[in-house]
Amino acid sequence: MKHRSRPPEQDDLLRPRLVDMIDLRHELVKLAALIDWEVFEREWAGFFPSAT
């Protein structure tokens, strides 16, 4: 379940970036930083086969 590499980000004057809208002090943001996402990726990857 590897993600594709993205092209370098380019600022868009009409759309704010999501990372600029997220409150880094929010409880869910703090919780997401504590989760070991690689464990989920290893355990659940077989249920979501990659199209590539």
**Cα separation, 31 vs 7, whole angstroms:** 28
CB 17 within 8 A of CB 9: yes
What is the per-residue pLDDT for 17? 84
What is the per-residue pLDDT for 3? 60
pLDDT digits (tens, 9 = 90+) for 30-42: 999 999 999 989 9
Q: Where are the alpha helices (H) located in 1-52, listed in sequence order?
A: 18-21, 27-34, 37-44
**Cα separation, 47 vs 21, whole angstroms:** 32
What is the per-residue pLDDT for 29? 94
What is the per-residue pLDDT for 38? 94
What is the per-residue pLDDT for 15? 82
- Tell me the CB-side half-sphere exposure of residue 44, using CA atoms within 13 A: 8
**Regions of the chain short of the pLDDT cut 70:** 1-11, 52
